[in-house]
A and B are shown apart, each in its own frame.
Chain A
Amino acid sequence: AQKITQTQPGMFVQEKEAVTLDCTYDTSDPSYGLFWYKQPSSGEMIFLIYQGSYDQQNATEGRYSLNFQKARKSANLVISASQLGDSAMYFCAMREGSGGSQGNLIFGKGTKLSVKP
Chain B
Amino acid sequence: EAGVVQSPRYKIIEKKQPVAFWCNPISGHNTLYWYRQNLGQGPELLIRYENEEAVDDSQLPKDRFSAERLKGVDSTLKIQPAELGDSAVYLCASRILAENTGELFFGEGSRLTVL
Contact = CB atoms under 8 A, between A and B. Distances in A.
Nearest to B107: A44
Interface string A98-117: 11101011111110000000
Given A104-B56, A107-B43, A33 B106 contact: no
A91 interface: yes
Nearest to A49: B103
A29 to B, nearest CB: 14
A33 B108 CA distance: 24
Among A44, A52, A91, the most chain B Cβ lie within 10 Å of the Cβ of A44
A47 B45 contact: no
Interface in B24-75: 33, 40-45, 48, 56
A110 B42 contact: yes
Given A35-B103, A98-B100, A105 B109 contact: no
Size category of the binding interface on chain A? 20 to 34
Contact of A33 (B56, B101, B107): B101
Contact of A47 (B44, B105, B109): B105
A50 interface: yes
Contacts of B43: 45, 91, 107
Contacts of B45: 104-106
Contact of B104 (A52, A98, A105, A110): A105
A72 B109 CA distance: 34
18 contacts: A37-B106, A42-B108, A45-B104, A46-B106, A47-B104, A50-B103, A52-B100, A52-B101, A93-B42, A102-B97, A104-B33, A104-B56, A105-B104, A106-B45, A107-B44, A108-B42, A110-B40, A110-B41
Given A102-B100, A109-B41, 15 more contacts: A4-B42, A37-B106, A44-B107, A45-B91, A45-B104, A45-B106, A47-B103, A52-B101, A100-B97, A104-B33, A105-B45, A105-B104, A106-B45, A107-B42, A109-B40
